[in-house]
Amino acid sequence: MAALPEVSLFNTLTRRIEPLQPLAPPRVTLYTCGPTVWNFAHIGNFRTFLFEDLLRRWLEHAGYDVFHIMNLTDVDDRTIKAARQAGRKLTEHTAPFTKAFFEDRDYLRIKPAHVYTAATEYMPQMIALVSKLLERGVAYKGEDGSVYFAIQKFPTYGRLSQLDKREIKVGARVASDEYAKGDPSDFALWKKADAEDESVGAAWDAPFGRGRPGWHLECSAMSLSEIAKCCGVETLDIHAGGIDLIFPHHENEIAQSEGATGKQFARHWVHGEFLNVKGTKMSKRHGNFLTARDLREQGIDAAAVRLLFFQTHYRQPVDFNDEALAGAAEGVRRLGEFRERLERESQNGDEPLRNIAAQLESDVASALSDDLNAPRAVAMLFDFVRVANRELDQHGAGARHALQALDRVMQVFEILPTRREVEASLAGWVEERIAARAQARKSKDFKAADAIRAELAAKGVEIEDTPTGTKWKTR
Ligand SMILES: [Zn+2]
């Protein structure tokens, strides 16, 4: 097997760009914190999921065998509150939002994870993890009936978020899933069930009392369970998420996991920056809560959203606005046209595009292997389009290698235009007219053939005769 290329990524744990060193290459275990399915995921969540998609696609392209786990938070403070307000059971409330999340994921061309872990399906693992932490003396049952993690018993607490340990308030406890930044306190692993939890069906029996897991506990229990099942290990190669999850969520995941296993929880911690939404029509309608379906309903090509995000490094904030989106849509259109041109001209010889295509692939590889530098890779891609178009204009030389290289690069970025959905009836009619035209041409009735072409054009259908037959597309 060929040696795997070195891929470097910023590691939040050390605050340095470091080569990825999976436990058992080529396998890479990747855990990404998923959506809380109390509502539709917003486009800021999807910026995180898209950078993780690019990371996974790049690792796979580079030859790694990625095992990707994503959780679905279907029990936490927010889902319970939303279910109660809607007057539904927890799972009745979350199921449609889970379905919507998968639809949005597909719209945005995000590769499905290998496993989606819904918290409600991992209660035995969560209960076992809490029991283990109690046994090891790093957790205790409070007089309120909830079980807490004692951060004083975990000396490296605060390492990921670089919190000043002097701030730890001895004996202070936080039961809420999301609490104040910079307030390191004992946090709830298991919350004693209250009337609200019971009313929506969010309470489970456990040896330490009837209750429900805290959000942080869920990710530890589910990730450890899945990597044990798949790979017999207790350490993740990469744990990724949005930058807002560093504290307290990821800090607490480390404490719980390492407190139970005594092993390092994740070798590489990768965090993506925020998305800012300003000045879009959608934001006027929805405040800053802009969902992927808002974009889809407006007919925005997912390729433009992907390109827009990839034009900024994942560790830099992106400003999402109409102008930036229009610019990305124009870029996607250019790529689509370029690919069509390469397809048309790919029958000719190989030079000189072969060399610049090879250069493109090597440039993209070095950019993405250098802390996933997508903006640099994308800039090189558009340079390639410009140079290749010029070569084609000047020499009319072949494009087959350029087409193959472009398609390989597109497997990583997925930013070619989405073909417009054509109604099945139109497609059937078009195929029938193309067959009639072919027949007319065969019998040298060019007048009839031209009439059919005009008829198709009137319906917005353009045709093109190629050596492999007549191709068509809608305008
Ligand atoms: Zn998580």
Confidence check: pLDDT of 105 > 80 = yes
Report pLDDT for 2.
66
- Residue 250 C-alpha to ligand 1 middle, in angstroms? 7
CA 253 / ligand 1 centre spacing (Å): 7
Per-residue pLDDT tens for 162-175?
A: 886 556 666 678 88
pLDDT at 276: 85
Report how far ligand 1's centroid is from the alpha carbon of 161 (Å): 15
Taking the centre of ligand 1 as the mean of its atom positions, its distance from the CA of residue 88, in whole angstroms, is: 25
pLDDT confidence of 283, banded at 50, 70, 90? Answer: very low
Q: Is pLDDT of 209 > 70?
A: yes
The percent of residues above 90 in pLDDT, for the chain, comes to: 73
How many other C-beta atoms can be found within 10 angstroms of the C-beta atom of residue 393? 8
Measured in angstroms, how far is the CA atom of residue 222 from the centroid of ligand 1?
Answer: 9
Distance 231 CA to ligand 1 centre (A): 20
Centroid of ligand 1 to alpha carbon of 31 (angstroms): 8
CA of 219 from ligand 1 middle (Å) equals 5
Residue from 184, 208, 223 nearest 132 by CA: 208
Going from the Cα of 137 to the center of ligand 1, the distance in angstroms, rounded, reads 24
Q: Rounded to an integer, what distance in angstroms lies between the CA atom of residue 258 and that of residue 240?
A: 17
Q: How far is CA 280 from CA 40, 41, 286, 290, in A?
A: 19, 18, 10, 9
Q: Which residue has the higher pLDDT, 242 or 428?
A: 242
Place 410 in a pLDDT band, splitting at 50, 70 and 90.
Answer: very high
Burial of 466 (0-12, 13-18, 19+ CB in 10 A): exposed
Q: Does 53 or 427 have the greater pLDDT score?
A: 53
Helices (H), 120-202: 123-135, 195-200
Please tell me the distance between residue 17's alpha carbon and the centre of ligand 1 in angstroms: 22
What six digits make up the tokens of 383?
A: 């340079």
Q: What is the DSSP string of 417-451?
A: PPPPP--HHHHHHHHHHHHHHHHHHHTT-HHHHHH
State residue 281's pLDDT score: 42
| pLDDT score, position 18 | 98
Inter-residue contact 90 to 80 (CB < 8 Å)? yes
CB-side exposure of 17: number of CA atoms within 13 Å? 11
Query: pLDDT per residue over 232-267, tens digit each?
Result: 999 999 999 999 999 999 999 999 999 999 999 999
What protein residues have CB closer than 5 angstroms to ion ligand 1? Answer: 33, 219
